[in-house]
A and B are shown apart, each in its own frame.
Chain A
């Protein structure tokens, strides 16, 4: 580089450019995280005073069966929701990537549209759909009322939570899948058909392996936010549908036990980091160079 953009030669310019974002990042991301992380090793000494005592008691409590159970259930919920998202999202992404160019744009906008609506509003919309006097039950009543139809109980169940989780996170699955599938060289698929494979076998033998990196990103990008979901279990779920984020929220608010809440939050964080590390490890194994 000889055009003067080498940062080693223009340190002031570099500092001027990188300073503000770096400062922002430190002040509003790194520092709060560090504070919460420090809290996770602290003890409550008054209503609002926390002493950072370096204790592991909060982590020990987080590992009690009660909380481990909730964490386990959260993981199971997240895994199931991710699986459902994949099963629904893959055909959707495939269809979009094969759609004619103009339709493709509209379909992609359709996938992203929910992002532009507030999460709370979308969740309330689901309530309107699922509740006993909701649209679904109303529709079923109209169709099967003659047969003595009883409204289905859907609200405040794990089923409703799952519907909410899948609905909210589907775009996180579809978009990375679409990006991976759209990059696929079409002549590879044609070659597979040409060599005697049907469509299903072509998807299985060629599309899935070649899109595996995209599938892994889709899994990660879906699984992590689902694992930390708060609103869906809170609004749609019943007493037994709590996920770990709901417990964390309760520690910070009603229980006013910040150190324990911080420890739970960081348990989730460690898990997430572990997941990301595993993914990059797998990726590296795919490409040995």
Chain B
């Protein structure tokens, strides 16, 4: 999980977009269900979720292609809920790019300026500048069918930013491109956003894309917001099993709080037959079921073959956070290896181990008895 472009907001920013109790129904289907959300100026905001979760509908309501069934949308404090798309200070990069096939690249980019009535000399100048910004100098006279997918995507981007919108909307901007190009454009888009300082709102089903690009993400599920947070917080402190499972992969163990203090907590994990030590209090009632979420890369493998005893885990008293298991399967992925480990009670645990040297992949193998362990800071408690 690399996040090269994660940006922490430096200073408190001004709210630019506000969704107030937005609901959208299509006949009997509730696509967006009472969503309230604010997006701040200069953010790279991602709406993340599986297909059909309502993220695209939310974006299309922001663009003006759909009207909410109820609720309000404000941009810069102005209610634009019922304003037509051509009157809104937003522009969109479409999933299919929607580059006009009968117009040359430069005329595609000039289109929006022409509609504004920008004089032709200035129009050409601004369009050329926008082309340069997406690294397409000299492509102005090409027709769209002479461009590759990646180039068409850049034209769509240039066509939108040349209008200097308050907010740029991106609908699955990289989904149609191959993996290598996607990686490349990811960095470019992040850089472009930095340079322009425009607020970006992106819809994506690709969690890597969201984590890599966004300064904040909203995870949506069945029309509702599940969690709004920075990528790191989404990954390290998911609010629910649903979010934990959607962002990356996760091991979930049912449990109950046994001891809860301000600086530590002890969780009983009956599925594992052990107790877990946490470096922070949970605030959860001892009577309700909770879940211990453990990311695969936060689990350590230790040898157990020659009767080695349980290793000590950092930050925990002896005997906590370690459990016996047996390796069922190994997948060598180059940079890391993924292990499928079965615990004595039958529970399966996924472990990711980085290959720090060229020989690390040989450390553990099929059918090996191991200890699994994790740090006091490794696990996270979920209440829902």
Q: Point out residues on A near B: beta carbons under 8 Å.
A: 185, 187-188, 190-198, 201, 205-206, 209-210
- Give Cα A187 to B63, complex, Å: 12
Interface core residue of B90, B100, B116 (most chain A CB under 10 Å): B100
- Give Cα A138 to B97, complex, Å: 57
- Give Cα A195 to B86, complex, Å: 6
Q: Point out residues on B near A: beta carbons under 8 Å.
A: 63-65, 84-86, 90-92, 94-96, 98, 100-102, 111-112, 115-116, 159-160, 163
Given contacts A194-B63, A194-B91, contact A188 B98 (CB under 8 A): yes
Decide: A194 and B116 in contact? CB cutoff 8 A: no
Chain B residues, CB < 8 A from A198 = 84, 86
- Give Cα A191 to B95, complex, Å: 11
Decide: B115 and A195 in contact? CB cutoff 8 A: yes
Interface core residue of B98, B102, B159 (most chain A CB under 10 Å): B98
Nearest CB of chain B from residue A211's CB, rounded to whole Å: 10
Given contacts A195-B159, A196-B116, A197-B115, contact A206 B100 (CB under 8 A): yes
Chain B residues, CB < 8 A from A196 = 86, 112, 115-116, 163
Nearest CB of chain A from residue B115's CB, rounded to whole Å: 4
Decide: A191 and B116 in contact? CB cutoff 8 A: no
Nearest CB of chain B from residue A186's CB, rounded to whole Å: 9
Interface core residue of A188, A193, A196, A210 (most chain B CB under 10 Å): A196
Q: A195-B91, A196-B112 are in contact. List 7 more A-B contacts (CB 8 A).
A: A187-B94, A193-B85, A195-B86, A195-B159, A196-B116, A209-B102, A210-B102
Chain B residues, CB < 8 A from A187 = 94-96, 98
Decide: B94 and A191 in contact? CB cutoff 8 A: yes
- Give Cα A201 to B100, complex, Å: 14
Decide: B85 and A190 in contact? CB cutoff 8 A: yes
- Give Cα A185 to B152, complex, Å: 16
Closest 4 interchain pairs by CB? Answer: A195-B112, A196-B115, A191-B98, A187-B98
Given contacts A209-B102, A210-B101, A210-B102, contact A194 B92 (CB under 8 A): yes
Chain B residue at minimum C-beta to C-beta distance from A286: B102
Chain A to chain B contacts (Cβ below 8 Å), 22 pairs? A185-B96, A185-B98, A187-B95, A188-B98, A188-B100, A188-B101, A190-B94, A190-B98, A191-B92, A191-B98, A191-B100, A191-B159, A192-B100, A193-B64, A194-B63, A194-B160, A195-B91, A195-B115, A196-B86, A196-B112, A196-B115, A198-B84
Chain A residues, CB < 8 A from B91 = 194-195
- Give Cα A191 to B111, complex, Å: 10
Given contacts A210-B101, A210-B102, contact A195 B111 (CB under 8 A): yes
